[in-house]
């Protein structure tokens, strides 16, 4: 639906409000159904629809039921506009408010909003604030996870050295490597010492810390001692 303000006598300039409506909708309709009023039968309006390839169809005279859908919409429009004006809202603002509410309200027949059919997306309104976006929900969940005591630090950055779970045979359970790519919020790519690109989940990674270095240093000392001293026979 589209509605624009027009003067009381706009037969000669009937194409002007229609042009405004067309620009607002960003498209030319394939067809147009109207009554036989002088506004729509004028030469200016006929030229307007012909130049834009719009098929103009007229309803039978004195038979409003032929355009019942439009008549019902006009009745609904006038009723809502009158109530908004009565509440102190101006006519121009009332029209804008009505159009936005109509386009963002699911239709009784299609069960979807006119905006989603027209633009392939929902328009953002003040009611959208009542339903947080997916990104906001994910940030909130991540904040809750980080604030839980004894929760592992799952924040990893590309280029940082980490300890990763090593599933290769004859290798330690954890190996030190560097993150080269982040595929998703919980998936990272690392390059092992054999130059093989491996994807890992954050549950298979941990940050390099002092304890890891101490364990590695103790392991080196134990190895040196085992090589230096021979077993007692």
At 129-167, the pLDDT tens digits run 777 666 676 777 777 766 665 545 567 888 888 888 888
- 14-18: average pLDDT: 61
* Secondary structure of residue 191 in the 3-state scheme: strand
C-alpha closest to that of 190 among 221, 164, 156, 214: 164
* Statement: residue 90 has pLDDT above 80: yes
Name the residue ranges covered by the structural domains of the chain: 17-58, 70-130, 160-207
Secondary structure E strands in the chain: 31-34, 55-58, 161-165, 174-184, 187-191, 197-201, 205-207
- β-sheet bridge partners, residue 190: 179, 198
pTM above 0.75, yes or no: no
- By C-alpha distance, which of 93, 120, 94 is closest to 26? 120
Give the whole-angstrom CA distance, residue 76 versus residue 201.
56
Neighbours of 4 (CB within 10 A): 16
**pLDDT tier at 5 (50, 70, 90 boundaries)?**
low
**pLDDT attached to residue 199:** 87
pLDDT higher than 60, residue 47: yes
User: Is residue 113 a contact partner of residue 134, using CB atoms and an 8 Å limit?
Assistant: no
pLDDT at 82 over 90: yes
Of the CATH numbers 2.60.120, 2.30.30, 3.30.70, 1.10.3470, which one belongs to the domain with range 160-207?
Answer: 2.30.30
Q: What would the pLDDT profile of 178-213 be if each residue is shown by its tens digit?
A: 888 888 888 888 888 877 888 888 888 887 654 444
């Amino acid at each position: 639906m589209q509605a624009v303000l027009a003067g009381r006598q706009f037969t000669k300039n009937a194409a002007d409000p229609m042009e405004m409506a067309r620009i607002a909708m960003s498209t030319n309709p394939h067809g147009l159904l109207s009554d036989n009023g002088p506004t729509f039968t004028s030469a200016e309006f006929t030229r307007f629809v012909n130049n834009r390839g719009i098929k103009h169809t007229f309803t039978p005279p004195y038979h409003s039921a032929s355009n019942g859908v439009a008549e019902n919409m006009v009745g609904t429009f006038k009723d809502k506009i009158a109530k908004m004006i009565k509440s102190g809202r101006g006519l121009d603002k009332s029209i804008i408010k009505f159009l936005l509410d109509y386009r963002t309200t699911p239709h009784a027949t299609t069960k979807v909003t006119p905006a989603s059919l027209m633009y392939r997306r929902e328009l953002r309104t003040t009611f959208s604030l009542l339903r947080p976006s997916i990104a906001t929900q994910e940030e909130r969940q991540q904040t809750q996870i980080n604030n839980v005591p004894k929760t592992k630090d799952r924040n990893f950055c590309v280029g940082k050295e980490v300890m990763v779970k090593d599933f290769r045979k004859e290798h330690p359970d954890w190996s030190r490597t560097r993150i080269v790519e982040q595929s998703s919020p919980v998936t990272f790519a690392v390059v092992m010492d054999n130059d093989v690109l491996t994807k890992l989940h954050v549950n298979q990674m941990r940050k390099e810390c002092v304890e890891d270095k101490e364990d590695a240093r103790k392991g080196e000392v134990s190895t040196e001692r085992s090589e230096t001293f021979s077993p007692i026979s």
